[in-house]
A = this chain, B = another copy of it.
Amino acid sequence: MTTGTLYMLPVTLGTDNIHQALPQEVIQLAQGLETFIVENEKSARRFLGLVKPAKPVRELTLLTLNEHTTDAELPALLAPLLAGQDVGLMSEAGCPGIADPGARLAAMAHRKNIRVAPLVGPSSILLSLMGSGLNGQRFAFLGYLPSDKQARIQRIKDIERQSRQQQETQIFIETPYRNQHLLEDMLTHCAAETRLCIARNISLPTELIVSKSIKDWKKSELPELHKQPTVFLLLA
């Protein structure tokens, strides 16, 4: 039997506007799918309501893959694909397989010779890099920084050193209620000429993407970042 395709289906970044976020053919493809593997069922149903699938949303099959999913549970998620069905994999926001648990299933799909097909959509990491004006020829995404203040300061210094040595843009995030602390630590501990891009609420009406040197950030009014999804990009 021919196996199905695992479509890596991006979702909107907090907006309701799927026509700003997804190509028409991606929306059409999603409309035809009947089985989805989702990070959060509630937000996935809301997103699928916007997509307007061929079948009513309540009749779609939604399986969950999140940080609590064990390796032992992964084979059950691949069962529909092995039975020949196409499946859409969605993360909570943005592109599945990037900074989410989706890559674990894609890895297992490759081992079973199931086709994995990425679809175009919004990624706050990529969009913020495009908008930053920092080096896009060489960059690294590091995920979350340590929550402990001393460990975070040390990590910031390491990141700055790596960026200077390699001329590499370093991209990282923080849980939104700690954004302001991270920003303060960078302003205190980074070199005056280091460039910092703050990319807040990407693709929302309140989107802000501003790149300045640490020296110039210190002279500016700082943007409100508390509890707002923000990507930080640094180039020393």
Q: Which residues of B contact A109 (CB under 8 A)?
A: 133
Cβ distance A59 to chain B, nearest Cβ, rounded Å: 27
Give the distance in Å from the alpha carbon of A203 to the alpha carbon of B217 in the complex.
Answer: 40
Which of these, B19, B22, B132, B140, contacts A106 with CB under 8 Å?
A: B132
Q: What number of copies of this chain does the assembly contain? A: 2
A122 proximal to B (CB < 8 A): yes
Which of these, B18, B95, B133, B138, contacts A116 with CB under 8 Å?
A: B133
Give the distance in Å from the alpha carbon of A116 to the alpha carbon of B233 in the complex.
Answer: 15
A107 proximal to B (CB < 8 A): yes
Q: Which of A103-129 contact B (CB under 8 A)?
A: 103-110, 116-118, 120-123, 125-129
The number of chain A residues touching the other chain, given as a range, is 35 or more
Q: Which residues of B contact A126 (CB under 8 A)?
A: 95, 98, 118, 123, 125-126
Nearest residue, chain B, Cβ from A103: B136
Given that A110-B210, A141-B138 are contacting pairs, would A98 and B130 also be in contact in the complex, using a CB cutoff of 8 Å? yes
Known pairs A19-B25, A120-B121 / 4 extra A-B pairs, C-beta < 8 Å: A21-B120, A97-B129, A109-B133, A138-B143
